């Protein structure tokens, strides 16, 4: 007897490092993005959109990690032989856009963008291959006021989203200080660009690996828990010691005790003032702080913090990081800080890769997914599930046209509504469907209601309340019935009353 082979069906599976998102999460994202957008536009920024795919050479090689092929970028070769890549951030595509449209854009050019970016990195907890960013940039201004404005706008965006002052801080530093340190140990000049980048990436991992992990990456390299080996910068012991002096300086008492910004700047000058480049970085920090304080943004909101490095190679001056300071509980119930939800800085050389003249630029990027998780932890976003549409049920499949007219009447009045399109045989399944859609109410019309010129409206929210308070169910029904009849010509008015009752109209 021959066996009947089973069909070879595909297994439905999501690739690692990616995530599906449902209606509730998307609604919360939309609410959050609109709030950020209002703040950005209040500062005079205008929207622009660039494609997710760019020529690989236009994006450049600026990523902080090199543990994957193609320098952490998803790339493919076009049929004309040219290499294309998915964007890894929103800044490099902006640089290409500005350079390509330089003569027609106003300068300075102030724009914002929101979209997904892609990293060809090893996935892990909280580390995704696709995630959303919301950026704002000023291109064409070398003024420290442009940098100060980025920090102020980031603070305003967080407060507009409901994060109270004291639960966040915008930390600022200047890459020229670190560049001065590296110059002092013989890593200046174009010939040492690769080693400087390796040092930068090592320091950027301080929070994750600690001092000893950074020390290993400054030397021969480090093997992680999985056995993967990351090559180090191969610095000599004296060079490592000098860099670690800076790394140790990243957590001064002043950051924790709340000393004023000028105390931190003077400490930087004292520790690294033997480098002209480091002194220049300290001077730029002071100019930024002066401008921020003049606008009312003191160290409780914008704080000089040498701990901020930023991993991307293209930063050339001030760098910023938005950090949430409140604690949440991890999966084991331990208190942890939420940490960074955005960052940015000055990148004066990025647009100039395409242009003969220098083009200064500065910007800030919000990590949308991470900030959304923080807002939900605070109860500031998506606390209540969004209501679904009103569902018009089908009591008689021969009268689909009648039911469709009801749906259209509701939509014409601006009420979200849909006709039940499943199998109408089991009416209970229609109500279950409406429950799953989180519908506020359903519309019912059988033969008897049709003969009387009526419709029945079943208030699903009120019905759920009645079920929860079963002891007083009779009284509840008497004062606010969960199901009631109205003349058909009052359908829209009656549904509006239900929605208004639940503050959903």
The pLDDT score that the predictor gives to residue 353 is 93
pLDDT higher for 282 or 327? 282
**The two structure tokens encoding residue 382:** 């998506």
pLDDT averaged over the chain?
A: 87
Is 473 a residue whose pLDDT tops 60?
Answer: no
Q: 6-15, 129-138, 373-382 — which is least confidently predicted?
A: 373-382
From 76, 83, 87, 78, select the one nearest 129 (Cα to Cα). 87
Query: Which domains occur in the chain, in start order?
Result: 23-180+252-378 (3.30.930.10), 390-501 (3.40.50.800)
Give the mean pLDDT of 246-268: 68
pLDDT computed for residue 202 by the predictor: 86
Using N-to-C axis directions, what is the helix angle for 261-272 and 175-184, rounded to 10°? 20
Tell me how far apart the alpha carbons of residues 215 and 421 are, in angstroms, rounded to a whole number.
63
- Give the mean model confidence (pLDDT) for residues 142-169: 96
Q: Which of 131, 171, 181, 122 is nearest to 151 (CA)?
A: 171
pLDDT at 458: 96
CA pair distance 172, 268, nearest whole angstrom: 13
CA–CA separation, 284 vs 493, rounded Å? Answer: 62
**Is the pLDDT confidence value at 67 over 60?**
no
Cβ-contact 417, 393 below 8 angstroms: no
Q: Of the ranges 122-126, 346-350, 405-409, which one carries the lowest mean pLDDT score? A: 122-126
Encode pLDDT of 124-135 as tens digits: 766 789 999 999
> Token digits for 159?
């407060």
pLDDT more than 90, % of the chain = 59
How much is the pLDDT for 505?
43
**What 8-state DSSP symbol labels residue 188?**
-
Contacts 24+ apart (CB under 8 A), 188-192: none
- Least confident range of 46-60, 64-78, 224-238, 453-467: 64-78
CA distance 486 to 5: 58
Percent with pLDDT over 70 in the chain: 88
What are the tens digits of pLDDT across the range 280-296? 999 999 999 999 999 99
Residue 267 has pLDDT above 70, yes or no: yes
Question: What whole-number distance in Å separates Cα of residue 304 and Cα of residue 267?
Answer: 11
Structure tokens at 349: 């050389």
Q: Is the per-residue pLDDT at 175 higher than 70? A: yes
The pLDDT of 76-95, averaged and rounded, is 93
Q: What is the pLDDT of residue 469?
A: 55
- Give the start-end residues of each E strand in 124-244: 130-139, 168-174, 221-223, 229-231
Of residues 266 and 204, more confidence is placed in 266
CB within 8 Å of 170: residues ≥ 6 apart: 151, 154, 155, 301, 302, 303, 320, 321, 322, 323
Residues facing residue 319 across a β-bridge: 173, 345
Lowest mean pLDDT among 37-51, 187-201, 337-351, 414-428: 187-201
Sort 288 into a burial class: Cβ within 10 Å, 0-12 / 13-18 / 19+.
buried
Classify each residue of 4-41 as buried b or exposed e, where b means 16 or more C-beta atoms within 10 Å of its C-beta.
Answer: eeeeeeeeeeeeebeeeeeeeeeebbebbbebbbebbe
Q: What is the pLDDT of residue 383?
A: 53
258: number of Cβ within 10 Å: 10
Which of 471 and 156 is assigned the larger pLDDT? 156
pLDDT at 477 over 50: no
The 8-class DSSP code of residue 124 comes to: B
Nearest to 345 by CA among 298, 303, 301, 313: 313
Q: Which candidate, 112, 118, 116, places its Cα nearest to that of 84?
A: 118
């Amino acid at each position: 007897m021959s066996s009947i082979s089973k069909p070879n069906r595909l297994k439905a599976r999501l690739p690692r490092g990616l995530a599906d998102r449902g209606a509730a999460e998307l609604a919360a994202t939309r609410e959050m993005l609109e709030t950020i957008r209002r703040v950005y536009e209040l500062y005079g920024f205008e929207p622009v959109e660039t494609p997710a795919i760019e020529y690989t050479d236009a994006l450049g090689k600026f990523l902080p990690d090199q543990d994957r092929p193609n320098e952490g970028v998803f790339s493919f070769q076009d049929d004309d032989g040219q290499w294309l890549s998915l964007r890894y951030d929103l800044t490099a595509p902006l640089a290409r856009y500005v350079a390509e449209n330089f003569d027609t854009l106003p300068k300075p050019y102030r724009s914002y963008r929101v979209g997904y970016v892609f990293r060809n990195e090893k996935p892990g907890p909280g580390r995704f291959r696709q995630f959303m960013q919301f950026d704002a940039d000023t291109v064409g201004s070398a003024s420290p006021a442009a940098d100060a404005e980025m920090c102020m706008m980031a603070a305003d965006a967080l407060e507009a989203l409901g994060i109270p002052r004291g639960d966040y801080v915008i930390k600022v530093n200047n890459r020229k200080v670190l560049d001065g340190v590296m110059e002092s140990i013989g890593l200046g000049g174009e010939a040492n660009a690769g080693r400087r980048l390796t040092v930068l990436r090592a320091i950027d991992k301080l929070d994750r690996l600690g001092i000893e992990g950074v020390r290993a990456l400054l030397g021969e390299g480090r093997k992680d828990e999985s056995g993967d080996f990351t090559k180090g910068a191969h610095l000599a012991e004296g060079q490592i010691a000098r860099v670690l002096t800076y790394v140790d300086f990243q957590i001064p008492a002043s950051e924790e005790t709340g000393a004023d910004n000028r105390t931190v700047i003077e400490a930087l000058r004292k520790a690294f003032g033997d480098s002209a480049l480091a002194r220049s970085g300290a001077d730029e920090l002071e100019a930024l702080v002066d401008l921020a304080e003049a606008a009312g943004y003191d160290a409780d909101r914008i704080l000089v913090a040498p701990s901020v490095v930023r991993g991307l190679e293209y930063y050339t001056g001030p760098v910023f990081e938005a950090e949430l300071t409140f604690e949440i509980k991890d999966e084991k119930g331990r208190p942890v800080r939420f940490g960074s939800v955005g960052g940015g800085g000055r990148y004066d050389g990025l647009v100039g890769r395409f242009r003969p003249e220098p083009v200064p630029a500065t910007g800030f990027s919000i990590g949308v997914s991470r900030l959304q998780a923080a807002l939900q932890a605070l109860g500031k976003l998506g606390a209540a599930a969004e209501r679904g549409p009103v569902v018009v049920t089908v009591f008689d499949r021969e009268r689909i046209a009648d039911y469709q007219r009801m749906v259209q009447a509701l939509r014409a009045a601006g009420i979200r509504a849909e006709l039940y399109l499943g199998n109408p045989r089991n009416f209970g399944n229609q109500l279950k469907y409406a429950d799953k859609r989180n519908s506020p109410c359903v519309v019912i019309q059988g033969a008897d209601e049709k003969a009387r010129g009526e419709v029945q409206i079943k208030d699903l929210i009120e019905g759920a309340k009645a079920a929860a308070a079963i002891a007083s169910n009779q009284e509840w029904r008497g004062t606010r019935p969960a199901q009631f009849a109205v003349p058909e010509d009052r359908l829209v008015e009656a549904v509006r009353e239900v929605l208004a009752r639940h503050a959903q109209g």
